[in-house]
Amino acid sequence: MIARDARLRVVLPHEPLYPGFARVIWNAHVAEMSDLSESDRAHLMGVLMAVERAQREGLSPDKINLASLGNMVPHLHWHVVPRWRDDSHFPASVWSPLAAGRDATQVQTRIGLTEARLPAYQALLAGRLRSCGLDDGGLGDFR
């Protein structure tokens, strides 16, 4: 599912170990959040919080990780990652090596439980993003 407005877009990439993982990507090339106007920062934070709330309500993770990246070019994007104590990397970041001694069956069970919640989460997320003024922008299935 992809949603957007004139300022940003929200993408749900396929991340096999982290179903529900979302990216919020600022369209204009700016290096830092402090380069945005107050209005733009407020809009970005409103969308980030809408994604986080939809993940919390729709997926019931133990924690949400928010990561702002973009080191190679002046570009802002945020990763919004639902996390569970029994995921493949916890308590480290999702970019760290796999957690030592993690039970692969337990990880696959967690992934399956989360995938089962994705349709409800996506519908909830779509409503939250609409309330922020985003639409599908002709890009895809915006439930």
Counting beta carbons within 10 angstroms of the beta carbon of residue 39, is it exposed (0 to 12), middle (13 to 18) or buried (19 or more)? exposed
Residue 82 has pLDDT above 50, yes or no: yes
The pLDDT tens digits for 122-140 are 999 999 999 999 987 554 5
Which of 46, 64, 54, 47 minimizes the C-alpha distance to 117?
Answer: 54
Q: Calculate mean pLDDT across residues 83-87.
A: 93
- Once rounded to an integer, what is the mean pLDDT over residues 108-135? 94
Q: What percent of the chain has pLDDT over 90?
A: 77
Looking at residue 15, its pLDDT comes to 92
Give the contacts of 28 (CB within 8 A, at least 6 positions apart). 7
In words, the CATH class of domain 2-131 is alpha beta
Q: Are 79 and 65 in contact (CB under 8 A)?
A: yes
Q: Where are the domains of the chain?
A: 2-131
Task: Supply the pLDDT for residue 121.
Answer: 95
* pLDDT (0 to 100) of residue 143: 45
Q: In the predicted model, what is the mean pLDDT of residues 19-46?
A: 95
Q: How many residues does the chain have?
A: 143
Q: What is the pLDDT of residues 90-101, one digit of tens each?
A: 999 998 998 888
**CB atoms near residue 81 (< 10 Å):** 23
Q: What is the pLDDT of residues 45-67, one digit of tens each?
A: 999 999 999 999 999 999 999 99
